[in-house]
């Protein structure tokens, strides 16, 4: 079975040129990666300590390698990593947009209030690919794990293959920089976490691989990738927001210059027998780092230290389990407490009833979780606010976030949050931002541009309920049997 492309919304000449250019860039990335031994992702395939090849690799791959210098540091201590990023110009006032204090006069703020539409691009059994406002990919999947994986691969195959090449390029850069074999490290993480990963996720990934022509191991490694690289989050309600609305903002600062945003997609899942949910995500990625389900439970993460603590369920799969299996913050916390975890992560959770929590999850510590509720203050943060929880990187980022929230307390709405997330709260590496409204199932999200952080890009509005209704109208129409 293959995808059927809509005749009314077929590729334009510009889109075709863009796709071919991306394919050429992807081929260049993969050629260099394969030359350095990452073609099959086998640890013994290459000695990546060949610094002499670094200049050639940097010259050949069509991405901004400064991102690797700034971010692929592999220090164990998260604070040292943050300070290193700041010294490289990833935060501070340089290049920061002026904060408008919630005036809502910016283009971003205006676009946030606008309704958006979906238009079909392609269909296949158990999947529909659409464009949001003619720009953003929205992939809607349903069915069993294998059915969703196959549909994902058929509809976004080119993007999945490009993601595989990009991650191989990251591996090359990381290996050249650190002298460690990235292929061996990601293989170790994949193998050690495998016993803790639900079988259904492997079924989905293997079906996705089959549909794209990749090896199952390659897709599995795409999904283990976040475990080797270690953002801000805030949830508000009641007295903090206009009308007492529950709002949840999430900043992902993560390798913008690598070009992952070229393969971005808002993915909507309706898994058989589980909660429907959406993810601000990327082609080939079946886990999630930014998600909300149809019960109004939202979650975002922030990476810490702890690389190598891999005897547990990886963060991206944990977050997927939370949105697929839980309806409330308390249910999510119970699942997290009962599950062996990896590395050190921080989470902000909120639900439609207004329950919310900031969570520190440190693998191999007892207790693993420390939970902060609204109004509670952690000594590592600059202060506490009623009806608010937040987590941010130390120093100027956290100080600025707290200042902006405090100054606008009681007047916070979506346009205000969009302004609040701008630099230095978001870093230069800001890959995507999202704002959830759990009560109405709305999400506003922005992806990084070629040279700009996501916080300076246009936000698009989508709604989980509307996306599912759109899928129901389109599902089965025009699909080849």
Residues in the chain with pLDDT values less than 50 = 8-9, 25-26, 28-30, 32, 35-37, 41-107, 109-116, 230, 477-481
- So what's the pLDDT on residue 65? 42
Q: Determine the distance from the C-alpha atom of residue 195 to the mean position of all C-alpha atoms in its chain, rounded to a whole number.
A: 24
Burial class (CB within 10 angstroms; exposed 0-12, middle 13-18, buried 19+) of 328: middle
Contact 131, 137 (CB under 8 A): yes
- So what's the pLDDT on residue 159? 95
- So what's the pLDDT on residue 170? 78
* CA pair distance 108, 298, nearest whole angstrom: 22
pTM of the model: 0.81
* CA pair distance 474, 125, nearest whole angstrom: 11
Q: Which of 253, 221, 320, 299 is nearest to 78 (CA)?
A: 253
- So what's the pLDDT on residue 122? 96
Q: Which of 262, 230, 261, 256 is nearest to 64 (CA)?
A: 256
Please name the helix (run of DSSP H) or strand (run of DSSP E) that holds residue 185, with its range, or none: helix 182-193
Q: How far apart are the first and last CA of the chain?
A: 7
Q: Which of 53, 72, 63 is nearest to 28 (CA)?
A: 63
- So what's the pLDDT on residue 457? 97
Tens-digit pLDDT profile for residues 406-448: 999 999 999 999 999 999 999 999 999 999 999 999 999 999 9
- So what's the pLDDT on residue 263? 95
Contact 127, 148 (CB under 8 A): yes
Residues with Cβ < 8 Å from 27, sequence gap 6 or more? Answer: 165
- So what's the pLDDT on residue 183? 78
Query: Can you list the domains of the chain with their CATH numbers?
Result: 107-115+230-260+292-460 (3.60.60.10)
* CA pair distance 27, 256, nearest whole angstrom: 20
Pairing assessment for the beta strands 369-372 and 356-362 based on DSSP bridges: antiparallel
* CA pair distance 303, 37, nearest whole angstrom: 28
* CA pair distance 433, 444, nearest whole angstrom: 8
Bridge partner list, 142? 270
Q: Which segments of 61-144 does DSSP mark as H helices, in order?
A: 66-71, 78-87, 107-113
Q: How far is CA 12 from CA 2, 15, 26, 137, 478, in A?
A: 21, 5, 21, 15, 20
Q: How far is CA 358 from CA 232, 319, 351, 381, in A?
A: 11, 14, 13, 12
* CA pair distance 93, 72, nearest whole angstrom: 23
- Quick one: DSSP state of residue 367? S
Contact 215, 331 (CB under 8 A): no
């Amino acid at each position: 079975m293959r995808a059927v492309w809509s005749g009314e919304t077929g590729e334009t000449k510009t889109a075709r040129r863009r796709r071919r250019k991306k394919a050429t860039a992807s081929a260049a990335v993969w050629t260099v990666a394969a030359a350095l031994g990452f073609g099959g992702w086998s640890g013994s395939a290459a000695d990546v300590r060949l610094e002499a090849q670094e200049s050639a690799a940097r010259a050949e791959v069509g991405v901004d390698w400064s991102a690797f210098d700034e971010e692929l540091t592999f220090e164990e201590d998260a604070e040292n990593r943050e300070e290193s990023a700041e010294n490289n110009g990833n935060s501070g006032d340089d290049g920061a947009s002026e904060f408008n204090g919630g005036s809502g006069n910016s283009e971003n703020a205006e676009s946030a209030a606008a309704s958006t539409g979906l238009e079909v691009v392609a269909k296949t059994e158990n999947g529909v690919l659409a464009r949001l406002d003619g720009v953003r990919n929205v992939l809607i999947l349903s069915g069993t794990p294998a059915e969703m994986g196959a549909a994902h691969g058929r509809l976004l195959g080119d993007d999945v293959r490009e993601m595989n090449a990009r991650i191989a390029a990251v591996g090359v850069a990381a290996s050249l920089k650190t002298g460690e074999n990235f292929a061996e490290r990601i293989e170790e993480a994949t193998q050690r976490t495998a016993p803790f990963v639900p079988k259904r996720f492997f079924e989905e990934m293997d079906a996705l691989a089959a549909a794209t022509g990749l090896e199952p191991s390659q897709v599995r490694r795409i999904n283990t990738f976040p475990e080797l690289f270690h953002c801000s989050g805030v949830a508000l309600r009641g007295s903090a927001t206009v009308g007492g609305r529950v709002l949840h903002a999430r900043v992902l600062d993560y390798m913008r210059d690598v070009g992952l945003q070229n393969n971005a997609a808002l993915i909507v899942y309706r898994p058989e027998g589980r909660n429907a949910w959406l993810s601000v995500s990327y082609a080939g990625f079946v886990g999630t780092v930014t998600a909300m389900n149809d019960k109004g439970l939202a979650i975002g993460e922030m990476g810490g230290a702890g690389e190598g603590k891999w005897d547990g369920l990886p963060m991206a799969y944990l977050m997927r389990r939370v949105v697929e299996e839980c309806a409330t913050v308390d249910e999510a916390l119970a699942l997290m407490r009962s599950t062996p975890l990896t590395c050190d992560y921080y989470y902000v959770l909120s639900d439609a009833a207004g329950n919310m929590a900031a969570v520190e999850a440190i693998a191999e510590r007892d207790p693993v979780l420390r939970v902060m509720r609204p109004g509670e203050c952690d000594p590592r943060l600059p202060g506490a606010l009623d009806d608010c929880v937040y987590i941010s990187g130390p120093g100027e980022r956290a100080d600025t976030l707290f200042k902006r929230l405090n100054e606008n307390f009681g007047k916070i709405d979506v346009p205000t949050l969009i302004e609040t997330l701008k630099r230095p709260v978001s870093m230069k590496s800001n890959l995507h931002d999202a704002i959830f409204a759990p009560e109405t199932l709305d999400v506003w999200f922005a992806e990084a541009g070629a040279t700009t952080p996501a916080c300076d890009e246009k936000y698009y509005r989508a709604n989980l309920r509307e996306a599912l209704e759109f899928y129901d109208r389109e599902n089965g129409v025009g699909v080849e049997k």
